[in-house]
Structure 1
Amino acid sequence: MEAFRSLGKDKVRTFLSMLGIVIGVIAVIVAIAIGAGTTANVTARISSLGSNVIIVTPGFSGGFGGRAASVLTSVLQETDVQNIQNMAPDVGTVTPVLQKSFNILYQATNTVATVFGAYPDTFSILGLPIQYGRLITQQDEQNYANVAVIGNTIATTLFGNQNPVGQTIYVTNGNIKVALTIIGELQETGSKLTFNPDTMLMIPYTTASARLIQLNGGVSQIIASAKSANTALDAVSEINNILYMRLQNSNQYRVISQNQILSTVSQTTDVLTLLLASIAAISMIVGGIGIMNIMLVSVTERTKEIGVKMAMGATRRRILGEFLVESMFITIVAGAIGVGFSFLIAMIVTYLASGLGLMVIITWPSIALSFGVSVAIGLFFGLYPAYMASKKSPVEALRYE
């Protein structure tokens, strides 16, 4: 009780000594919460595809001796798609992809979009839901049909809130001008691995190959799906082996699976979260130094009081404990205040950043960690002032003015 009364004598000084710990606790909890929220957000986007999606992209050449690296655009071939379909038992479906940016024109409005030519299986592989109209069919593919399924963002740009189904748009690039009839509009999905369907115009692969993107048997990418989530790793290995047999160089292509991306994302966000939390923890250490300084001042101011207590029979251990309790009480209260304000700030950040898709997730381990560290700082930085108080000579303390 004496420790609490002494803290109440100078409320402003007590508050200022708490402030550094409060800010530190808030910073650590919010930093970890932002990291956890970012991880959850990215993981949810990637996981929306399912764990059996596999994407094969070209590798890079150059990049040494000051030269810029360039994508090997012609390394993947239609024959690779056939080989994967025939020789990879754990691969369910596979489709070649042709993609390139074009100007899209509708009446007096135009925009730039990625024209994405692929087999009809692509919609099920990537899990793309339709909002209006229908998807591309096998018959469209066989007939080289001039039809397209439009992404939500492009549809809004060109048609506003109108249903675009049945409208004719023009894909232009230099001398190329191809008329396409909109047969469907996708629901808004956001980015999916290396794709953003919202900004794509999806057409039959045969139409893209014959009229818009002619790579002489080459393909931009290959999309495949494993027969099940349990065989996804085996499917990746099989695709790797098939491509390596032809190219004899694993640097000329990249096989990307959802599990690999999730692992990379998790490692990256863990490092960033640790970095942010470490920076935030510095303010807690600064706050601890502030507490130590204030406690040393308090010891000096109460020297005569210490002498009186010792003269009346107080032991050095009692004096040590009293000052140590004061220091720890400051950090415990400051830690509790910091935890409370962390929830408030997390809600504010979530509200302000809702448009960016940022989530702030406060976890109990982060609360326990920051609160435990604040108590430990109170113990560590309060120990020296408490020791100095307990070592004072009763006679010298009573003479102090």
Structure 2
Amino acid sequence: MEELSPIQDVDEIPVMQRASLLRAQELYQNDPLLVLLKDRLALNSFMLLAIGIVVGSVFFYGLYILPGTGHGLANQPLFAVLEIATATLLLIAYLWLPEIVATLFHTLWSTGVLKEPVSGEDATTFYAHFCKELQKWMNQPVWPIGAAVFIIIYLLNRFIVSGPPFLNYVPFWLQLTTAVIDGLIAYTAVLSIIRLLIALIAMNRIFHLFTIYINPLHPDDVGGLGIMGSIVWLSVCIMLATTLSFLQTIELLTHRSIFSSTLDLLVLIVVYIVVTPVVILGWLVTPHGVMVKARDAVLKPLVDEFAAILDHPQQLTKEDVTSILADNDRLSAIKRRYDLIIDMFPIWPIEVKQIRRIIATLTLPALLSVIPNIIDFVNLILKRM
């Protein structure tokens, strides 16, 4: 495995090489779990994901169907599926987010999307400083420490107040096992959300700090910003997993005839209806504005020329017929060129079909919430037949 150079040694590397040094390993050096799994044990993300899915499946389904443990808890509608899906989505985000973030900024820089800084400073030095600031924020020790303390307090409080209520149906050893697994899942979730928010802020900053070059003929069909699709989909994973975690809790409590707290419902509604669109749009709005501005800059000479021709006074005399016809030809040519640029110039960092897929994916929690009702309705009809 490639040996990592310490972050503190970056200053010793020549400036011209320093700007391209942003690597995934440098964005999680504050995370002992990820350092252990990826750097010390040298396990790749796909292997870790496979292990996580197997462990999650054995735990959330296998242990809960043992005699005298869950009272059939795992056989309740959607319980095992939602738990495994939530853990898998959060693990995907946790494992791949540093790599995607590093790839995002490196690609924007290396492909020339980021031009000179608006401040007029040297581009290479300025970008190198930006990378160091990003690494600094990503590697604040307060993030994993705060996440661990919060999770420990939450789990201790869970046992003090005997909650969540469905744990009263399982033996103590399974409650402890559940606490450990839930703690690991929560840890990956909290750190993934923190890294996502830092990357989101950094992306919006860099689009304001640099002039952006949009290439309408770029092969990705979005002006060279196609790399942003990966980070948007990871955001969808995190938001979907968060929503599913609340959905499965509410579903389980409802099936057990335990009243779901108003707080659970409120958090679910806020995450699903408010937070999710805000996070997704956070990746799209600033690039959209930059892309529209770049397109308008290309269109402005045409608009000015079109207006100048229209404002040119013409007398409908025999001598001016030739001039009028020439102006008409110029106006038609300008209009065709204007329409061509509008059609070919992308104004969103991801394709429209990708946006449709994202919307369809984010509707899954709403569809899953009605499945138990459909199952109950079908069972009722079958019993009456």
Give the shorter-chain TM-score range. under 0.3
TM-score of the two chains, using structure 1 as the length reference: 0.25
Larger Rg: 1
TM-score of the two chains, using structure 2 as the length reference: 0.26
Q: More helix by proportion, 1 or 2?
A: 2
Report which structure shows greater RCO (CA 8 Å, sep ≥6).
Answer: 1
